[in-house]
């Protein structure tokens, strides 16, 4: 390694095995990050890793990219709805890596088909809040010792326009509430972590063609990943505690 080269930044992406999370991993690798691809199972993480590594097997130039990616992307088991899994993942991370520069709380579920605020039951509310909101909070808490070792750490919460006050309607009840509360967590975490100079952002990827967004969605996963990658690489800490889409601040 070149002794004068700046140290490579390291990012962890939850739900990194598919959809927007996988596109974020891809984009961060292209931005020369080292990437920890977290997924609920090692099989899912390794399958996704192979997808990243198989980029461009067809040409020698891309073969080089594949080889470089192989050394810079690592699998991690992390179920954000399970505190034991989160703790294990944070410990596991600490045994392999000295610090974490960027945490992207991307993992999420949308289980609200055929329910609205008048019909949703407690189990569904619990499950969605537990994953989309409490998962991001608990993951941030657990990885804080690693983030604290970075000189300019940042946390990016994968939110949604359906969690913006102006986007709330009778439909998508558990999802909307979970993202509204996640935006609240962004504001609270940004305030709590300001003394440590750790920035915290919310972002909406837009409507994206993934298993969650469906095939009619207007954006590719790469387009959906763009603002998260921008926040990870270029946004200033002055933006901490704010909500973004298309690299622009939007109202909570």
- Contact residues: ligand NAP, CB under 6 A: 14-15, 17-21, 40, 44, 78-81, 106-109, 131, 158, 160, 204-205, 207-208, 210-213, 217
Tokens matching residue 192: 């709590």
CB of 194 to ligand NAP, least distance (A): 25
Q: Which is nearer to ligand NAP, 162 or 193 (CB)?
A: 162
CB of 67 to ligand NAP, least distance (A): 25
Q: Which is nearer to ligand NAP, 150 or 210 (CB)?
A: 210
Q: Which is nearer to ligand NAP, 17 or 150 (CB)?
A: 17
Tokens matching residue 252: 């909570």
CB of 115 to ligand NAP, least distance (A): 17
Residue 194 phi, psi (nearest 5): -55, -45
CA distances from 166 to 19, 20, 184, 250 (A): 26, 24, 15, 11
Q: Which is nearer to ligand NAP, 69 or 106 (CB)?
A: 106
Asked whether 76 and 36 are in contact (CB, 8 A), the reply is yes
Residue 222 phi, psi (nearest 5): -65, -40
Q: Which is nearer to ligand NAP, 18 or 62 (CB)?
A: 18
CB of 198 to ligand NAP, least distance (A): 21
Burial tier of 118 (Cβ tally within 10 Å: 0-12, 13-18, 19+): exposed
Going by C-alpha positions, the residue among 230, 132, 188 that lies closest to residue 244 is 230
CB of 82 to ligand NAP, least distance (A): 7
CA-based torsion, 61, 67, 69, 71: positive or negative: negative
Asked whether 167 and 179 are in contact (CB, 8 A), the reply is no
Q: Which is nearer to ligand NAP, 31 or 217 (CB)?
A: 217
Asked whether 221 and 207 are in contact (CB, 8 A), the reply is no
CB of 176 to ligand NAP, least distance (A): 11
């Amino acid at each position: 390694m070149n002794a004068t080269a700046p140290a490579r930044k390291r990012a962890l992406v939850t739900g990194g095995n598919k959809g927007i999370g996988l596109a974020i991993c891809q984009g961060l690798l292209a931005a020369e990050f080292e990437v920890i691809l977290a997924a609920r199972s090692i099989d899912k993480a390794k399958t996704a890793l192979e997808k990243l590594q198989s980029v461009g097997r067809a040409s020698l130039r891309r073969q080089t990219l594949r080889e470089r990616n192989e050394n810079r992307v690592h699998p991690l088991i992390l179920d954000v709805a399970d505190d034991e899994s989160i703790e294990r993942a944070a410990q596991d991370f600490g045994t392999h890596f000295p610090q974490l520069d960027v945490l992207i709380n991307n993992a999420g579920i949308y289980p609200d088909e055929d329910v609205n605020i008048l019909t949703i039951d407690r189990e569904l509310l619990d499950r969605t809040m537990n994953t989309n909101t409490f998962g991001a909070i608990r993951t941030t808490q657990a990885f804080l010792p690693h983030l604290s070792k970075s000189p300019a750490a940042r946390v990016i919460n994968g939110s949604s326009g359906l969690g913006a006050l102006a986007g709330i309607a009778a439909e998508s009840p558990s999802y909307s509430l979970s993202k509204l509360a996640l935006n609240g967590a962004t504001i609270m975490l940004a305030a709590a972590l300001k003394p440590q100079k750790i920035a915290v952002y919310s972002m909406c990827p837009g409507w994206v063609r993934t298993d969650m967004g469906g095939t009619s969605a207007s954006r590719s996963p790469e387009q959906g990943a763009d603002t998260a990658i921008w926040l990870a690489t270029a946004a200033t800490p002055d933006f901490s505690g704010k909500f973004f889409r298309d690299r622009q601040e939007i109202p909570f």
